[in-house]
Amino acid sequence: MEHHLKYPFQNHGRNHYELELVSGKLHLFANEEVLSSFEPKVFEMANNNLQIPRSVYMSYTPDAHVGVGTCIGTTAVWSMKDGCVSPSIVGSDIGCGMRVHTTPLHKRDIQDKDIRRSLIAAIEKYVPTNERTNTNYDDIDIMSVVRNGLKGLPDKYIPNEQWLTHVEQSTFAYDRAYLEQLPPKIRKHAHGQLGSLGSGNHFIEIQYLEINEEYGELAAKWGLFDGQVVVMIHSGSRSWGAMVGREHNNVIKEAMNQWGVGNPDPQLIYAPIASREGQTYLNLMYSALNFAVSNRHMIAYGVREAFKEVFGGEMELPVLYDLMHNYALKEFHRNQPLLVHRKGATRALPPGHFLNTAAYKETGHPALIPGSMGTSSYIMVGREEGLKNFYSICHGAGRARSRKATKLLVTVDQFEQSMKVGTEDEVLVNHRSLQTILDECPQAYKDVDQIIDSVVGASLAGVVAKCKPMVAIKGI
């Protein structure tokens, strides 16, 4: 095992390693197979990140891979009192995250491919999957959404109270005066995007559950059953978050030059939390979080309308949970106010934790972990031992190769085989040709089962249910 790590390290057991990098300590959670797959660049990037002053903690989850400035799969913590905020350790898609809705349907109810094709057509009718197509929610005020989150939506788009309560956070409060610093064009670009999917690795999947017997009682409390059809949604803050990031990356870069501070990686930017630049970014980041949670909500609303069209007006899709994996939030850990950055990392709180939303105070909340197209996703629950990693777990499988490399190395035939094309268990997609989404094939990602094994082995979380794909809807 030691030859996999080129730095001095402590093996804490249970898939937990503590590396002594030149600039500080990096905690790493991975089993042996995953550990051996990390490329040297991820450790170089960690060392750069650890040069940001007064770091309290930094870690990688097993899905960690190279990103811009910071690896996706990073948890990084600073004190609110004298620490820093880094847009690079939030990520470009602020508030990107996951949402799952349950249905009363069983797998056998949608086994017929014609039914699934009807669902694809209906969903695409209500949820734009083409970047050039806008939604038609003209009665929604974008500014009300970015100020108030879900509470800024008209009542007609809130099917019931559960759509507000079964979420990580429905509204992110901040000083709205900072909105005046945004250019007017941001509203124009965001108009029509609320409730749209976006491209890249964003998706809507129709899946069925395989309940883990060990967590059978908990699954029942959450309303889950074996063979149940669920809908998983992955999307973020669209152009609102992208523009907030771009505008204030430049502002902070300029401030760093004036302060005379830098980093070996020019794409890694940061500012003291207490600085004008830090406060501006944090407040506007919260506006993007409001947009992101509302965007997933409206995507789900469109999916609900589609299911009603196919299965009748009485069909309902209760919310299981909605959470983010790209953000920086003030949290209390070890009796201290800390700014916890998670870039491609999911918060998984255990039962009884005070940060749990009221609906999941007793049980702990569902932690939603997507796989890749054609592979399983997971519904997990945090464990008390997760405190050692500030309750962060993976956010998915994590890319194993770039989009360009994937297109060079993977054939459409291989992609078809992984999607079981031509069989009864084929995962249907909303594209006529898999060639158009080849860079999102399963071969582009790490083995999600090994990622989950790493998390479970580290006692950070347990698997409540495995989600097997039946339909995958991707944006272009």
- Known catalytic residues are 395
List the structure tokens of 366: 């569902």
The Cα 270–Cα 263 span in angstroms is 10
Q: How many CA atoms lie within 13 A of 230 on its CB side?
A: 32
Cα dihedral sign, 207-208-211-212: negative
Dihedral angle over CA of 234, 237, 243, 245, nearest 10: -80
Do 380 and 366 contact (CB within 8 A), yes or no?
yes
The Cα 47–Cα 51 span in angstroms is 7
The Cα 324–Cα 43 span in angstroms is 25
List the structure tokens of 331: 């949290």
Do 282 and 124 contact (CB within 8 A), yes or no?
no
The Cα 330–Cα 342 span in angstroms is 11
List the structure tokens of 95: 């508030």
Do 61 and 15 contact (CB within 8 A), yes or no?
no
According to DSSP, the β-strands at 72-79 and 326-333 are: unpaired
The Cα 347–Cα 324 span in angstroms is 8
Do 99 and 321 contact (CB within 8 A), yes or no?
yes
The Cα 411–Cα 419 span in angstroms is 13
DSSP calls for 281-301 = HHHHHHHHHHHHHHHHHHHHH
The Cα 76–Cα 326 span in angstroms is 12
Position 473, amino acid: I
Element (H, E) at 319: strand 319-324
DSSP assignment letter at 130? S
List the structure tokens of 105: 């349907």
Judging by beta carbons within 10 Å of its beta carbon (0-12, 13-18, 19+), is residue 293 exposed, middle or buried? buried
